[in-house]
Structure 1
Amino acid sequence: MRGVLWALCSVVLVSVAQLLLRHAMVTLPPVDEALSFLVALIHLAPGSGALALGLMGYVASMGCWYLALHRLMLSKAYALLSLSYLLVWSAALLLPGSEESFSWRGLAGVGCIMLGVLVIFAPGATQEKR
């Protein structure tokens, strides 16, 4: 059970990190304009904090992922990791300013992911590592 909790913690952290990095990349100058990008970072322009927090979120997520993999079978851990698609898709639709639009095709894809996770975690599936 602790492996599942660590994996879910990793999923939440990586999802938030992705959203923060998206915000940073939209707010900051393009990376291919290296000088402008570096000046924006040095002067702590809007988006710099989101970039730093997003990168720290990825690092924290990897720590949780490491702990999850010690306690959970890889097939189950990766099934849980796919839930980040659901979280990021939903948040992109709901967050103001994200300019994402709902699509039935996207909903069907998210539904397939959720169905796959449920199948993998169905009773009788392989148990956690001890």
Structure 2
Amino acid sequence: MGIIWALLSVVLVSAAQLTLRHAMLLLPPAASPELFLQHLLHATPGTLPLFVGLLGYLASMVCWYFALHRLPLFRAYALLSFSYILVWCAAIALPGWHEPFSWRALLGVVVIVAGVMVIFTPPKRR
């Protein structure tokens, strides 16, 4: 059950990161706090994705709490690395994001997957 909680946390945090990225493209930079707050108070188009993304992070932390109660930390943290893969793939695949594909990044994804497989492979009995 701990793996399910950890994977749910990964999906939620990945969706939250993507939603926050979308919100940041719609909102003005926080360098001018008055303009940023004005946009938040008047519920401009970026306001809803900002709050949905923050709620996604909160929900992810709740799932992470349950995952840490049921999984050893080294395994839970290994699963958390799948978030990098999900966000990378989604940023490339989602229309309008124009994130570039790179073979070097794909190699990094392969290394992450290999690392998680090493951590989850049971040790051989002697």
TM-score, shorter chain, exceeding 0.5: yes
- Separation in structure 1 between the aligned mates of residue 85 and residue 25 of structure 2, nearest angstrom: 21
Q: Residue 48 of structure 1 corresponds to which residue in structure 2?
A: 47
Q: Residue 58 of structure 1 corresponds to which residue in structure 2?
A: 57
Q: Residue 5 of structure 2 corresponds to which residue in structure 1?
A: 6
- Separation in structure 1 between the aligned mates of residue 16 and residue 111 of structure 2, nearest angstrom: 24
> What value does the CA root-mean-square deviation take over the aligned residues?
1.0
Aligned length: 124
Shift of 1:69: 0.3
What is the one-letter code of the residue matched to 1:34?
Answer: P
What is the one-letter code of the residue matched to 1:15?
Answer: S
Give CA-to-partner distance per residue, 1:79-120, whole Å, 9 cap, x none. Answer: 000000000000000111212010000100011001101111
- Separation in structure 2 between the aligned mates of residue 52 and residue 119 of structure 1, nearest angstrom: 37
- Separation in structure 2 between the aligned mates of residue 31 and residue 49 of structure 1, nearest angstrom: 16
Q: Following TM superposition, where does structure 1 have runs of at least 4 consecutive aligned residues deviating by more than 3 angstroms?
A: none
Q: Residue 16 of structure 1 corresponds to which residue in structure 2?
A: 15
- Separation in structure 2 between the aligned mates of residue 124 and residue 49 of structure 1, nearest angstrom: 47
Shift of 1:26: 1.1
Which stretch of the first structure deviates more once superposed, 68-77 or 35-44? 35-44
Gapped runs of 5+ residues in structure 2?
none
Which stretch of the first structure deviates more once superposed, 92-101 or 7-16? 92-101
Say yes or no: does 1:114 pair with 2:113.
yes
Q: Residue 72 of structure 2 corresponds to which residue in structure 1?
A: 73
Gapped runs of 5+ residues in structure 1?
126-130
- Separation in structure 1 between the aligned mates of residue 3 and residue 46 of structure 2, nearest angstrom: 32
Shift of 1:124: 3.0
Shift of 1:123: 2.8
Q: Residue 91 of structure 2 corresponds to which residue in structure 1?
A: 92
